[in-house]
Structure 1
Amino acid sequence: MENVRILCFLACFIIFSCKQGVTPKPVEEEMPKEESTSQLKAKLTNEGYQIFDFVDEETKDTILMQQYFMAFLKTGPNRNQSKSELDSLQILHLTHLKRMYDEGYADISGPFGDDGEIRGITIYNVPTLKMADSLANLDPMVKAERLEIEVHPWWAAKGYPLR
């Protein structure tokens, strides 16, 4: 039964993590005017993000680094919910994560595949640790103390995809 619940969780999470209903645009509409690196850096700095840049010696491109916040969702002290309470919390948890993604606060989120103390992560794309911590603590699983949050600053190159 536990395996079925885990598979259902993963399936729901994958569904909520993928943007749905996106209609392909004609090619000419897909090509927005690109901001220069300096314009993007100025915009992000004005919005309160921590940014630095460097020149890639091989390509001579300017790489813009941004500080994100990685929230670790850890096993909380209250793991005694009934099955119906847990099912309800799970739906509310996934709804919260989908909202964070849809509103642009979170870039990626997902559970770990083992049964360890750290249950999953969410990477927040917000200007401050305080904001990331506040958003992460709005999660119904955290409010119910089934999960606890631990947030750390994390740097990544702006605009580079996961591979």
Structure 2
Amino acid sequence: MKYFFGILIIIFCFSCGSNTVIYPDKALEKKTNHETFSYKEGDTTYVMQKYFLVLLKKGPNRNQDEEETTEIQKKHMAHISWLAEQNFISIAGPSENHETVSGFLLFNTETMKQADSLAKLDPAVKAGRLEVETLPWWAAKGSKLK
């Protein structure tokens, strides 16, 4: 458990990749038609885009020994790196001292179903250490953390 909370990963906007993304055992055409809307406030026009916030919640199966926990965590981090390399996530990181939420992933996918499916490929989710809750979230396109 100390490994999960001890590792902080923040991933910012990634460059665009190819149009085809290879998932385990299949190919998926990566779409670029994200849901957006525009509104004008004064002289500024804002383009809002729908993203998907995934809450990584503590799962029901957290009784693995230290060696197995370490291996699951290593695979979990590799999965997050893969999501970043494929430009599916804009940012990721653990929460601190929360009773139920262990971390967050902000997906930049076209649909909630796609974000949810990708999050559920995480080895920590498959092992039951984490559960996924996916929420739609709107932000101005091109927003940055400050």
TM range (shorter): 0.7 to 0.9
Task: Give the distance between the partners of 2:56 and 2:82, measured in 1 at CA.
Answer: 17
Structure 1 or 2: larger strand share?
Answer: 2
Per the TM alignment, residue 101 of structure 1 is displaced from its structure 2 partner at its CA by: 1.1
| Mean CA deviation greater in 48-57 or 134-143 | 48-57
Name the counterpart of 1:155.
Answer: 138
Indicate the structure (1 or 2) with the bigger Cα radius of gyration: 1
The TM-score normalised by the length of structure 1 is 0.73
The answer to whether the Cα contact below 8 Å between 2:49 and 2:140 also exists between their aligned partners in 1 is yes
Structure 1 or 2: larger helix share?
Answer: 1
Residue pairs, 1:11-160, within 5 angstroms: 12-14=7-9, 17-18=10-11, 47-57=32-42, 60-160=43-143
* CA-based RMSD: 1.7
In structure 2, stretches of 5+ residues that fail to align are 13-30
- Number of equivalences: 128
Task: Give the distance between the partners of 2:6 and 2:61, measured in 1 at CA.
Answer: 25
Task: Give the distance between the partners of 1:155 and 1:18, measured in 2 at CA.
Answer: 19
The answer to whether the Cα contact below 8 Å between 1:93 and 1:139 also exists between their aligned partners in 2 is yes
The answer to whether the Cα contact below 8 Å between 2:92 and 2:105 also exists between their aligned partners in 1 is yes
Matched residue of 2:33: which SS? coil
Structure ranking higher on relative contact order (CA contacts 8 Å, 6+ apart): 2
Per the TM alignment, residue 119 of structure 1 is displaced from its structure 2 partner at its CA by: 0.9
**Aligned residues with identical type, % of pairs:** 39
Matched residue of 1:87: which SS? helix
Per the TM alignment, residue 11 of structure 1 is displaced from its structure 2 partner at its CA by: 5.3
Per the TM alignment, residue 65 of structure 1 is displaced from its structure 2 partner at its CA by: 0.2
Amino acid of the residue matched to residue 101 of structure 1? A
